């Protein structure tokens, strides 16, 4: 009888814990931001290396949301270098939403992952303190930089940021999507922009895309 009672209590505990977990809502900071600008802050993947300026993912995102998106990407930049220009390129520009994409060059230069996470967390905190919502891009690609995926997912949850998981998937390994083995080509940047657009659409309502953007980007290909 006692054993049966313990078993029933154990099952009830599992059910209650599961229901409590389902009841928790994701908390994203500053979704009601009073800022004006959407700013993409990152390295060469944000800058648009491997394609023209109008083919970069911020430029494509501009067309998808029918609203100007500022490109604050700098090629070759580490998270530490990006931190030094946060004030000039983000905080002074009345940010509404900051889309952070950093860490690839830290990985290539073999900088400590802990330092990268700390720098990105400082960038997120600075942006949020300025009243902006933040979206953090997953820079991993399959098993490559998989450790960053886990750390950034945890960081997004800790800071109340949107996490764009799979942002860089299928770029490194797909010659049709990259220009030099690392950077996307125009088609690859369309894929990145589509992923960002899809994720942001879970939290924000944007203007309908222009007819040209609709025809070009909303085709039966999964983002």
CATH of residue 69's domain is 3.40.50.1110
Positive or negative: CA dihedral 140, 143, 144, 145: positive
Residue 209 within a domain: yes
Q: What is the pLDDT of residues 116-142, one digit of tens each?
A: 999 999 999 999 999 999 999 999 998
Residue 22 within a domain: no
Structure tokens that stand for 207 in this block: 């203007």
Residue 3 within a domain: no
Q: Classify residue 149 by its DSSP letter.
A: H
Residue 6 within a domain: no
**Do 96 and 132 contact (CB within 8 A), yes or no?**
yes
pLDDT at residue 77, rounded to an integer: 97
Question: How many angstroms separate the Cα of 89 from the Cα of each of 11, 156, 161, 206?
Answer: 53, 21, 19, 23
Question: Which pTM was predicted?
Answer: 0.84
What pLDDT band is residue 3 in, cutting at 50, 70 and 90? low
Half-sphere exposure (Cβ direction) of 31: Cα atoms closer than 13 Å:
12
pLDDT at residue 221, rounded to an integer: 36
pLDDT at residue 1, rounded to an integer: 46
Is the pLDDT at 222 greater than 60? The verdict is no
Mean pLDDT of 62-75: 96
Domain of 210, in residue numbers: 33-215
Distance CA 3, CA 196 (A): 52
Distance CA 75, CA 186 (A): 17
Q: What is the pLDDT of residues 167-181, one digit of tens each?
A: 999 999 899 999 998
Q: What is the pLDDT of residues 6-34, one digit of tens each?
A: 554 445 444 444 444 444 467 999 999 99
Residue 198 within a domain: yes
pLDDT at residue 206, rounded to an integer: 85
- 10 Å CB burial of residue 174 (0-12, 13-18, 19+) is middle
Mean pLDDT of 132-156: 96
Length of the chain: 223
How many independent structural domains does the chain possess?
Answer: 1
pLDDT at residue 4, rounded to an integer: 55
Is the pLDDT at 191 greater than 70? The verdict is yes
Residue 88 within a domain: yes
What number of other Cβ atoms are within 10 A of residue 182's Cβ? 15
Q: State the chain's maximal CA–CA distance in angstroms.
A: 74
Q: Classify residue 74 by its DSSP letter.
A: -
Residue 84 within a domain: yes
Distance CA 23, CA 17 (A): 10
Average pLDDT of the residues of the chain: 87
């Amino acid at each position: 009888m006692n054993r049966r009672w313990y078993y029933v209590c154990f099952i009830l505990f599992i059910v209650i814990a599961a229901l409590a977990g389902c009841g928790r809502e994701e908390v994203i900071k500053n979704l009601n931001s009073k800022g004006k600008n959407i700013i993409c802050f990152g390295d060469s993947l944000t800058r648009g290396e491997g394609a023209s300026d109008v083919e970069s993912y911020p430029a494509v995102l501009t067309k998808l949301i029918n609203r100007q998106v500022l490109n604050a990407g700098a090629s070759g930049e580490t998270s530490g270098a990006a931190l030094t220009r946060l004030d000039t390129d983000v905080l002074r520009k009345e940010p509404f939403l900051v889309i952070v994409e950093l860490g690839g060059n830290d990985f290539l230069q073999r900088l400590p992952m802990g330092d990268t996470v700390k720098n990105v967390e400082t960038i997120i905190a600075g942006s949020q303190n300025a009243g902006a919502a933040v979206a953090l891009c997953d820079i991993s690609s399959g098993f490559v930089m998989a450790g960053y995926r886990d750390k950034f997912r945890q960081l997004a949850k800790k800071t109340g940021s949107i996490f764009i998981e799979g942002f860089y998937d299928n770029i490194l390994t797909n010659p049709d999507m990259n220009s030099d083995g690392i950077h996307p080509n125009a088609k690859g940047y369309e894929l990145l922009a589509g992923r960002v657009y899809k994720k942001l659409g879970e939290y924000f309502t944007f203007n309908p895309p222009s007819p040209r953007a609709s025809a070009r980007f909303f085709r039966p290909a999964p983002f």
